[in-house]
Chains A and B, each alone.
Chain A
Amino acid sequence: MTGENAILSLRSMTLTAGRDKSGNPEAHGVDFRAGEVTALLGPTGAGKSRFLSDIESLAAADTPTGRTLLLDGAAPTADGRFALQGRLVAQLTQNMNFVLDMKVMDFLRTHALSREARDPDAVARQVFEAANELAGEAFGPDAQLTQLSGGQSRALMIADTALLSWSPVLLIDEIENAGVDKRRALELLVKSDKIVVMATHDPVLALSAHRRLVIRHGAVQAVLARTDEEQAVLARLRDMEEEISGYRTKLRAGEALT
């Protein structure tokens, strides 16, 4: 088992051009740099999750898109791919529920053990507390994973990904559907040294990214860098969200709006 948890460093990553849903060649391969946040946009079913999945599985022309993932400019060898499986990428999918029949704290401790954390109990406790801060409603250490609400499950997955799954690449699939505070979730998740790729339909999240990939019919159609004008729009949108959020809090508390 030696080496399964070695720390990785990665400067750049490339997903080569593949083909779209009709088999036509994709126009763009995409380079990713450490410290850069990239948003994926496109209608539902356009291929955003597929794009993320190609990265997660270290695609080697063996997925339906035919894309290949290069790390620091080179395709990993077969042995290298196996060694990297599960360590290169931390991923938050649209998955809202746990399936495993375990209690929350047992699960976190086992996960910390599997990641060879130095102090598994402390790390588990840290994830547990962060998840409870994110979740709308608190849950206990002995709660069954499968009985957590959608929001609680997502909060736990987010905290686990942020604090326990140390990986140089972070993939996020529609965090806005999480039923948790997306801004706080993103703050917890995005560390400056990571490559972050995020599929989203949310304008604030999309504009929070350094650049956007537009996905259509299974392929990357355009790569757009965020402009100064868009930065200004982002500031406006954030103010609007804050206002909406304020009303939401009041309505939840049973207050009348004035």
Chain B
Amino acid sequence: MTQIHIKHGRIIDPANKIDGVGDIYIVDGKIAALSNPPEGFKADTVIDATDKIVCAGFIDLSTRLRDMGHSRKGTFKSETRAAASAGVTTLCLQPDTRPAMDTASVAEYIKDLAEKADYPQIYPIAALTQKLEGMELSSMLSLKQAGCIAVSNANFPIKNLLILRRAMEYAASHDLLFIYRPNDFSLSNKGCAHEGAVATRYGLPSIPEAAETIALAECLELAELTGCRVHFGQLSCKRSVIKIHQAKKYGLNVSADVAIHQLHLSENDITPFDSAYHVLPPFRTEADKKYLRQGLANGTINSLCSDHQPHDLDAKLAAFPETESGMSSLETLLPLMLKLVAQRAISLEQGIAALTHQPAQILRLPSGALTVGFSADVCIFDPELTWQINSDTWQSRGVNTPFWGQTMKGRVTHTLQAGKMIFSL
């Protein structure tokens, strides 16, 4: 029976409204007590958390680990290591794996790999449709029974609204959360940059905001029609935030997240033709960025995600429109969240909640908090520690980040998953 004593850290646990210096006692993989040790407690390990912040482990709603057909971009080992070093104890794996997460055997295989890797808890997200082709429903119930936590069609189109309606109805029948990144493919028209002044100047195929907001509006209507629980992933623009706000006010059971980099970069930051900035949805305007930040601060946007998409070098070595989209972003999750706090966009408590309690609520998981009896998923970080992003510090196989070479403030020092130390600096 392993017993861990986390000593003298500033404990921030928004779910339980705790913010103060104290101790945490972990027994047998679970949070046993805060403040005073439980009876008979004898620590095997003591972690001195003086001047550090102790919170629940981060829960990431959108991650790609690559591997299998994509091991040049990342492996379970490299990417779960990156996740652990970023304080992430639970991650949701997008269904665009190779092969796609559309059968129970793929989900079981991944769960099995994850358990062997001894790293963060991995929850596969099931493909909404077979082979993600947007045509026929996947075996959602079998996938759920095999451990999938939600359904999604990743960034692949669903052929029409009738299929989307039926998929949502079917998901609702099995009480499955539908995770949707709203994008009307005909309007985004193979674009790679926000439709605005920058794309115009560089002649880049562009994506209007309406590609997102129209798909979002359609899905909101279907959420009402079908009663399906919907979580909107990676919103990028002001009008999406307004729509989510209205829908929540109206009483729809919906939630939303934003990828952390969308809160820090806009079209104006794009270095011309630097493929590290090629993400989907694209970086939009300063006004959108500001509104997304406000949406997070006022609770319209529930949570933050990494939208981690590691790539091999070749994927980013071409003319901008021909490169693959996405950035490797697990390891910048914490420092970029802390930067929002430093810039007074959100409070530290809100930032931590958006990475812990909020995603746990969305997924209906008994985690994301330091509640006695919960699995001891804990992240300890030093908010003042500065570090440079370079090949010595970076764990992900994907070095595709526009922050490469920059100095970050705030670093995870320990990550515990079910009471097991999966990372220490």
A and B: interacting chains: no
